[in-house]
Amino acid sequence: MIKSKKNEMKMEFDSKSNNEAFARISVAAFASQLDPTIEEIADIKTSVSEAVTNSIIHAYPNRTGLVKIRAILYEDEVEIEVSDNGEGIENIDEAKEPLFTTKCNLERSGMGFTIMENFMDNLKVESIVGLGTKVTMTKKIKKVHN
Amino acid sequence: MNVKHFIEDKILLFEMTEELDHHNTEKIRDRADYEIQRFMPKRVIMDFFRVKFMDSAGIGLVIGRYKQVSAMGGRLELLNVSDKIKKIFEMAGILKIIPIIDVSLESQRKE
Ligand SMILES: Nc1ncnc2c1ncn2[C@@H]1O[C@H](COP(=O)(O)OP(=O)(O)O)[C@@H](O)[C@H]1O
Ligand SMILES: [Mg+2]
């Protein structure tokens, strides 16, 4: 079945931590066109925050780079892509394990991917060491009929 | 973040700010550790009353403070944890070691 696209947006910004709130609020505002519940919006915000924070901390540990977001709205689903041109991930399966982190000195909990997996319906992580990482997640927005 | 000291009982209460993400928790961490080292509390209570947003940075913040406080022989407790936040803590398994306390302790804040 071909999903028909309703709307799409792209944004990019510097990998600075004060953009974390800006990023999650922007995506949530865009996704609100699908009439999500408060719960669904909260899940989207948290997951975007995780992915964006990862690009800021892990992809560009000692420099400022660009973080890109692309969001596509379908009839009953939102697809969000967060990507960077940073360090990349050596072992994606290991990175996705709960509590796995390469930065425990920074009080990272290693729960970012676990939260994305739990709060969204689907998570895909693609990465090439030295080139960057792309995280794609989708969430169904259930239509409430009254 | 607001900090309240209960001198007699050696309790420190930290009122968390509205958005607990990576950006904000860095400042909270520094302030909290400064207060913990200065005050040497028996109990530290992290109050989530005001928190509207939290991601995994909140887990790191709590685990980090737990280590600080227990290293000094104190106890860390969490207050006013919403269902949403609770779910995130549960995923990390930290509620097995760090208790959520009852709101009846609220009254202590008004002393
Ligand atoms: N965009 C990224 N670029 C490079 N490495 C990443 C990226 N995202 C995640 N990682 C790696 O995956 C690990 C796990 O990520 P996550 O589950 O979010 O935990 P945390 O951020 O707390 O370390 C990170 O410690 C890091 O090594
Ligand atoms: Mg993370």
Residue B104 has pLDDT above 70, yes or no: no
Query: Between helices B56-71 and B83-92, what is the axis angle to 10°?
Result: 70
Q: Name the one residue in this structure whose structure tokens are 């790191």.
A: B60
Strands A77-84 and A132-140: antiparallel
Residues of chain A with pLDDT under 70: 1, 145-146
The CATH class for the domain spanning A7-140 reads alpha beta
Backbone angles phi, psi at B37, to 5 degrees: -70, -30
Residue B46 has pLDDT above 80, yes or no: yes
Instruction: Report the residue count for chain B.
Output: 111
Give, for A11, the enclosing helix (H) or strand (E). strand A5-14
B77/A127 Cα distance (integer angstroms): 39
The per-residue DSSP string of B40-92 comes to --SEEEEE-TT--EE-HHHHHHHHHHHHHHHHTT-EEEEES--HHHHHHHHHH
Q: Are B71 and B36 in contact (CB under 8 A)?
A: no
Q: What is this structure's pTM?
A: 0.94
The per-residue DSSP string of B16-52 comes to --SEESHHHHHHHHHHHHHHHHHH--SEEEEE-TT--
| Residues B43-70, mean pLDDT to the nearest whole number | 97
DSSP state of B100: B
What is the best residue among A50, A52, A53, A54 to mutate for testing ligand 1's pocket, by most ligand atoms within 8 Å of CB? A54
CB atoms within 10 A of CB A95: 19
Residues of B in contact with A106 (CB under 8 A): 60
B89-A103-A120 Cα angle (round to 5): 45
Question: Percent of chain B scored above 70 by pLDDT?
Answer: 92
CB atoms within 10 A of CB B24: 23
Number of domains making up chain B: 1
Catalytic option among A20, A40, A54, A79: A54
Q: Are A53 and A24 in contact (CB under 8 A)?
A: no
Closest CA to A85 of A100, A64, A116: A64
Write the ipTM. Answer: 0.93
Q: What is the pLDDT of residues B74-99, one digit of tens each?
A: 999 999 999 999 999 999 999 999 99
Q: Where are the domains of chain A?
A: 7-140
CB contact under 8 A, A18 and B23: yes
For B67, counting Cβ atoms within 10 Å of its Cβ (0-12 exposed, 13-18 middle, 19+ buried), the class is exposed
| Ligand 2 centroid – CA A28 distance (Å) | 19
Of all protein residues, the one whose alpha carbon is nearest to atom 1 of ligand 1 is A55
Q: What is the pLDDT of residue B83?
A: 94
Q: Are A141 and A77 in contact (CB under 8 A)?
A: yes
Q: What is the pLDDT of residue B111?
A: 46
Q: What is the pLDDT of residues B10-25, one digit of tens each?
A: 999 999 999 999 999 9
Closest CA to A101 of B93, B62, B57, B69: B57
| Ligand 2 centroid – CA A114 distance (Å) | 9
Q: What is the pLDDT of residues A56-81, one digit of tens each?
A: 999 999 999 999 999 999 999 999 99
**Domain interval for residue B40:** 2-107
**E strand map for A63-106:** 66-74, 77-84
CATH number at residue B77: 3.30.750.24
Catalytic option among A20, A24, A40, A50: A50
- Residues having CB within 6 Å of any atom of ligand 1: A 50, 54-55, 58-59, 84, 86-89, 95, 100-103, 108-113, 133; B 56
Active site residue A54: yes
Q: Which atom of ligand 1 is nearest to the CA of A135?
A: 1
User: What is residue A27's three-state secondary structure?
Assistant: helix
